[in-house]
Amino acid sequence: MVRLRSTNVDDESKPRSTRRELLTAAMLLGTGASLALRSAGGADGQAAQLPLITRAIPASGAKLPVVGLGTNAFSARSAEELPARRAVLQRLAQLGGKVVDTAAIYGQSEAVIGDALASLAVREQLFLSTKVLATDAQEGKSSMEESLHRLRTAHVDLMEVHNLVGVEVMLPVLQEWQQAGRIRYLGITTARVDEHARLAELMRKYRLDFIQVDYSLANRDAADVVLPLAQERGIAVLVNVPFGGRRGAAGVFAEAAKRKLPDWAAEFDAASWGQFFLKYVVSHPAVTCAIPGTTDVAHLEDNLCGARGRLPDAAMRKRMEQYWDAKA
């Protein structure tokens, strides 16, 4: 069971309220329902009836929905917060989502997720991803054992070397665990543009199943080298911070609050700014799944609607970039 600590919530949790406040403010200013998190009828309405978009993992051909869940802010400060975390995971499974991404360094997130999935009995419905950060092989093994213990599972679907730390040391360990059936896929991660060159170097050097990288409408650097290289090398791509900031969504939603969601967003079934941003990200052919973080069911529902319906084609993606780059 998760042990609760009386600690300050880290900065990753702040955009949860910021997004809601910005969207509410925008509606009051007259930008209207196009900025609403949900249209009338909620996630079980028209949007939820659109076809679910999936992408194949190159290493196996198994398919994943193109939007999942990041859990950097899943630590709980009190027992009263645990039902909300559980509700997010339950709703994810109900709406056909699969990918749940966490890490050993995300506070209590692994333990909160493990307890919730055990109580919901949905572990096998989900694609569970976590990370290891270590520069010593034995330290890394111990960390991974602890991750499995906290997650209350005998295996994870994906284990990644976190922030490119100790890649040369830890990849052989991950390969051993993969051969033993304790992990299905292995990979490496970064959330920093200044590490993209190093990421590309490692992608060329090692046989990887996955990478995780920062990419968004407001941060398109990964499209220059990293994403094309992933296609070339047959590597699946998880996208972190798809709302454009390493510490959350405040930046892109603050900009969105200054302008109207364009009417032509309906041409690819985007009914909110969140869906607009996510559909831009997942429409890149190299992207397997975007993993926006949230502890809010309404935000989750809105995000998962970004995994349904139509996606923008190359011409529409260019139009989205031009619209976004022309600051209000």
Cα dihedral value 196, 143, 108, 38, nearest 10: 40
Q: What are the tens digits of pLDDT across the range 251-260? A: 688 889 888 9
Residue 246 is predicted with a pLDDT of: 54
Domain ranges of the chain: 12-325
User: Mean pLDDT for the chain?
Assistant: 88
Q: What are the tens digits of pLDDT across the range 110-151? A: 999 999 999 999 999 999 999 999 999 999 999 999 999 999
User: What is the average per-residue pLDDT within 208-217?
Assistant: 97
Burial tier of 41 (Cβ tally within 10 Å: 0-12, 13-18, 19+): exposed
The Cα 128–Cα 126 span in angstroms is 6
Q: Is the pLDDT of residue 20 over 60?
A: no
- Nearby residues of 313 by Cβ (< 8 Å), 6 or more positions away: 283
The Cα 305–Cα 92 span in angstroms is 11
Q: What are the tens digits of pLDDT across the range 193-212? A: 999 999 999 999 999 999 99
- CB atoms under 10 Å from CB of 231, counted, come to 14
Query: 12-325: which CATH topology?
Result: TIM Barrel (3.20.20)
- CB atoms under 10 Å from CB of 107, counted, come to 23
Regarding predicted confidence, which is higher, 29 or 267?
Answer: 267
Q: What are the tens digits of pLDDT across the range 165-176? A: 999 999 999 999
Q: Minimal CA–CA distance to 105: which of 169, 163, 172?
A: 163
- CB atoms under 10 Å from CB of 164, counted, come to 17
